Structure 1
Amino acid sequence: MNPDRPAILGGAPLRPDGPPGWPPRDSAVDAALRALIETGDWGRYHGPHVEALREALSAMHAGANVHLCAGGTAAVELALIGAGVEAGDEVILSGYDFRANAANVLALGATPVAVDVRPDTWQIAPAAVLAAFTSKTKAVLVSHLHGGVVEMPTVRAACDRAGVALIEDACQYPGAAVRGRPAGTWGDVGTLSFGGSKLLSAGRGGAVLTAPTPAGERIAARIRRYVGRGNDLSPLSEMQAAVLLPQALALAERTAVRGGNAATLRSIDGLKPLAPPPAREASSGTVPAFYKAGFQYDPAAFDGLSRERFCAAMRAEGVAFDPGFAALSTLFSAKRVRFEGDLPHASEAGRRCVVLHHPALLTGGEDLAAISVAIERVRAWAGEIAAAVPVSSTSQSLEL
C-alpha cells in the first residue's frame, strides 16, 4: 500500500486516534469538581462560584455588568430583550451567521434583516449595515466569526448616528480584543457562550455583558425583570460556574497559544484565513480568538475537490475540518427574513467556508503538524477522492 495514500481512500490516517478531544483534562477544573463534592456546592441554589465567575468576567470585560444564563443562544435572546426589541421591530444582522441569531429575532416577533458580508473576511459589512437602516430598525446584531473581526468602530459609529442599539455577539470570541477593547464591550450589550465545544466550556451556559453606565443599567434591568420569576428563568448553576472560573483565569494565556499556532497556517494554497494578518492585529490592538479557525476554501487549488469532500478527507486523517455555517438565505424564506439584495458574498461564504476546530491549536506539536501534512496529502490525491467518495446531498430546505 502506498504510505501516502489518504485515509479516505483506504490509507493509514495521520492521526488514528482522531482529533484532540474537548474539553481537555485540566487539573484546575479537576480540583474544582472535587471541591464541589466536598462542600456540597454542586447541589446548591446559591453559593460562592457564580458570584466569583461574575466578578472574573467583569474584570476581563472592562468592568461590565455580567448576567449569567443558561446558554449562548439564551444570552442573545436576553440581549435583544434588554435592547428593547419587540414585535414589529427590525434587527439587522449578517447574511452569514449562526441560524439561532435570526431565530431569536423571530421568536420576539421582530424581523431579521440580513445584509451582506465583506468579500475578504466574510464578516458583516459596515456599509451594508448603514444602507439597511429604516424607521423600524431597533438593533444591529453583529457576530465575530471563525477568527475574523468585525469593524466595530465603524459599526458603532453608524449605530450611534442612527440611534439604534448595537448587540455584539462574542460567543465565539471570549478573550479576544478588538481595537484595544475586549470583545463584547463595543456593543450596548454583548454575549458570551460556554457551550460544550466553546473556548470556555461548561457543557452549556452563557453570559450577557452590559456597560456600567446608565444606558447599560437600563438594559440589565430589562433583562432582570424578564428572567425574574421567583426563580431565574435561565440560570447558570454553581457547578458550571465552578468549572468555568479556572478556565477564565487561564484564557489569556491560551488565547496567545492558539493565536500563535493559527499564524502558522496562513500560507496554505487554497485556504485563505478569515483572521487578519498578525502584524495588522498587533498594530491595531486586535487579538483574535480561535474557537473555529475559518478559511475561504478554493476548490480550484484542490483539483476541483468540493468543500464537503475536502472536509470528509481531512476528518478521515484525524484533523477536525468542517464546512462553515449555511447562508441564512438557504435556511429561511423571504417571508420570515428580509434579505437586502442577493447577498452574493454571504452566499459564497455559505458555500466555501471551512473551519478548523480549535483543540489542535492549543495542543500544538504533532496535532498542529498533522494539519499541513494532511492538507497536502488531500491535495495530491484530490482527483481520486472526488471520483471515489460520494457526498450526500447538502441542500437545505427553507423554513417557511
Structure 2
Amino acid sequence: MRAGRAWPRWPQPAPGADAALLEVLHSGRWSIASPYGGVATYEQRFAGDFAAYLGVGHCVPTASGTAALMTALEACGVGAGDEVIVPALSWAASASTVVGVNAVPVFADVDPRTLCLDPAAVEAAITPATRAVVVVHLYSAVADLTALRAVADRHGLALIEDSAQAHGATYKGLKVGTLGDVGTFSMHHTKVLTSGEGGAAVTDDPALARRIEHLRADGRCRAARPPLPGAPELVETGELMGSNRCLSEFQSALLIAQLKTLDAQNSTRRANAVLLDRLLAEQDLCPQDTSPGTTRRTYFGYAVELPEEVRDGAASAAVAQALTAELGLHVRPVYQPLFTSRLYAPSSRRRFDIGPGHLDRLDPGRWSLPVSERAAGSFLTFHHAALLGEEEDMHDIAEAFRRVLARRAELTG
C-alpha cells in the first residue's frame, strides 16, 4: 500500500480567490437580479472572460451544467415529444435534461476506444422525430466533431456539445464547446474549472444566446443600456418565459479567479497523463484514446481499459476496489450505460407522464447497446486531481496496477 504522501486536494483555490469572494461579500450585490450598482456584475465579467478564453461570441452563465444543457435544448427548439440523440455511456444528466424538456432521449452507442458518441450510431438512430444531437466529450477524450457536425448538418439537426469534462480541450485548434450550435459547461465541484456549482452555455449565434439568457432568468435579459443605479438591470421583455437558473455573484467572482489557473493545471495533468500512458502501456494496458482531430486533451478523469480476463462488471469492480486500497485514491469503473443506470428512471416522477405512450418511449428497458455495455465493464477511471501530483505519483499508480493485476485470479476467483 502507498504510504507517506497525500494526493492533491481538489478544488484548489486560485490566487486572489479569497479576495474576490470578500469583494462580493461587501459589494451589496450578490445576484444579477440585485439593483444595479453602477458597474458590471461579476457574472457579466466572467461571461466575457470565458467567451474570450474559448474564442466564442457569447457566454451565458447558468446555475449548473444541467441548467446549461436544458436551456441549450430549449433554445435550439427541442420540446415535447421530440427525440434527442445522446451517448449511451455518460452521466445521468445527458438523459435527464432531455426528459426535463419533455423530449425523448434516444441512446446511441459509443466508439470502443474513445468512449464518445459514434457518428455511425447517430446516423442509424435518426428518425423523423429527431431534433438534436448532444455529444459528450468524456473523461479525457474529444469526440469526432467533424463527423458528428456533418451528420447533424446533413439531417438539419442542432448539435449541442456537452463539454462539462473538457474545459480547455481543443479540436483542430479550436476550443471544444465552440464547434456545435451551442456548447455547455459544468462548473461542479469535481470539474477542472469549478465554483462548487455552476455552468455556462456558449454560442456564436446571438439569437440563441438571447433565448438562453431569457430561459435562465425567468424570461428577463440584461438591458441594452445600463439603468440608473438602484434600478433593476434585468428587464422583462415578454419574449420568452423562463426559469431562475442564474449563477450567483459569489460563484462568478470565484470563476474569474479560477479561470486564470486553468491552462497551467491542465498542462500539468496532461504531462502526467502522458507519463502514465507510457507506464501502463508497458503492462499491455490501454489508456482511453481520443479522436484524430484532437489537438489538446483535458483530463477530467483518467480512464484505462483492463485486460480481457477482468472485463466484466464484477471483476472490474473488484480490481477497482483493490486499486483504491493500494493507493488511497478512489478508482472506480466508468459510468454505467444510461439505460441500466439507477439514476435514469423517468417513471419515478409523475411530471414526465405528459401523454399517452410517452413513458413507454422513455422506458430504459427498450435499449441494449453492446459497445457501451462492454465498456462499462472494461474501463476504470480516477479523478483528475491525482494528475496534479508528481512524477513519483504516476509511478505509484502504475505499480499499483501491476501489483493488483498480478493477483487478479485471487480477486475474481
* Length-normalised TM-score, structure 2: 0.81
Alpha-carbon shift at residue 52 of structure 1 (Å): 1.7
Alpha-carbon shift at residue 32 of structure 1 (Å): 2.5
Q: Distance in 2 between matches of 1:309 and 1:67?
A: 43
Residue type of the partner of 2:109?
Answer: D
Look up the SS of the partner of 1:97 in the other structure.
coil
Q: 1:310 and 2:319 equivalent?
A: yes
| Contact preservation (8 Å) 2:333, 2:380 | yes
| Contact preservation (8 Å) 1:113, 1:337 | no
Q: 1:246 and 2:257 equivalent?
A: yes
Cα deviation, 1:259-311, whole Å, max 9, x if unaligned, reads 1111112242354222339xx6xxx4621110111222235279998111111
The equivalent of 1:31 in structure 2 is 19
| Contact preservation (8 Å) 1:79, 1:189 | yes
| Contact preservation (8 Å) 1:113, 1:338 | no
Cα deviation, 1:309-351, whole Å, max 9, x if unaligned, reads 1111222221231111110221358741589973210111222
Match of 2:378 among 352, 362, 367: 352
Look up the SS of the partner of 1:266 in the other structure.
helix
Alpha-carbon shift at residue 220 of structure 1 (Å): 2.0
Q: Distance in 2 between matches of 1:303 and 1:165?
A: 36
Look up the SS of the partner of 1:142 in the other structure.
strand
Alpha-carbon shift at residue 200 of structure 1 (Å): 0.7
| Contact preservation (8 Å) 1:325, 1:353 | no
- Cα RMSD of the aligned pairs, angstroms, is 2.7
Alpha-carbon shift at residue 53 of structure 1 (Å): 0.9
Match of 2:403 among 358, 377, 388: 377
Paired residues for 1:261-300 under 5 Å: 261-267=272-278, 268=280, 269=283, 271-276=285-290, 284=293, 286-298=295-307, 300=309
Q: Distance in 2 between matches of 1:41 and 1:97?
A: 37
Alpha-carbon shift at residue 210 of structure 1 (Å): 1.2
Cα deviation, 1:217-257, whole Å, max 9, x if unaligned, reads 22223223323326771111111111111221222222222
| Contact preservation (8 Å) 1:302, 1:379 | no
| Contact preservation (8 Å) 1:16, 1:318 | no
Residue type of the partner of 2:18?
Answer: D
Q: How many residues align?
A: 366
Q: Distance in 1 between matches of 2:366 and 2:108?
A: 5
Cα 1:114–1:339 change in 2 (3 A) is farther
Match of 2:10 among 19, 22, 31: 22
* Length-normalised TM-score, structure 1: 0.84
Alpha-carbon shift at residue 359 of structure 1 (Å): 0.7
| Contact preservation (8 Å) 1:311, 1:321 | yes
| Contact preservation (8 Å) 2:276, 2:395 | no
The answer for unaligned runs of 5 or more in structure 2 is: 221-233, 235-242, 346-359
Match of 2:128 among 109, 115, 135: 135
The equivalent of 1:77 in structure 2 is 70
